[in-house]
Chains A and B, each alone.
Chain A
Amino acid sequence: GQQLNQSPQSMFIQEGEDVSMNCTSSSIFNTWLWYKQEPGEGPVLLIALYKAGELTSNGRLTAQFGITRKDSFLNISASIPSDVGIYFCAGQRERSQGNLIFGKGTKLSVKP
């Protein structure tokens, strides 16, 4: 089946630092989504990307849809303690094929 390679697996950063994580795939996706999950909770949608090359921001978060449609990255600027959690990328091939394929996640820890 399709796999998404998400890196890094984990990050330990100081409050105020910027963070970057990415996802790559051997297959093309038409939609990329980024989610954050906190312990014991469901994934929360952060950003959705629909077009190759698209750059979208949501507050301190910025995500881009790669030109090849096989990758995406998420940046968090000026991290704060509440950014702690696991960040997942998810790709979708077609709306009619509803399933999201998730990466394995990037666990972010922020030291105050």
Chain B
Amino acid sequence: NAGVTQTPKFQVLKTGQSMTLQCAQDMNHEYMSWYRQDPGMGLRLIHYSVGAGITDQGEVPNGYNVSRSTTEDFPLRLLSAAPSQTSVYFCASSYTPRAGGYEQYFGPGTRLTVT
């Protein structure tokens, strides 16, 4: 299994540009989530999904969109990039608690810089 994969690894955007961060998992996990990691602030939840077609907002959803058309993929879209979105983005997945899943598996991250 490849686990959780993320592309690209690095990205530089200009203010106002849009882009999609890709995330895929091959473990048949129902639960997927996106976090951003900023120094001194830990990981903050952006959006999450408990299955195909079901998404919800986390702590810091503004400026980001998600969709979940398949179990495997959970892309994160930046609508109009701002310097405040400069961060490292992590995707994670797990089984849901009712299915006996608790801990999350993380991708390697995408380092995004917005100038």
State whether these chains interact: no
B interface residue numbers (CB < 8 A to A): none
A residues adjacent to B (C-beta < 8 A): none
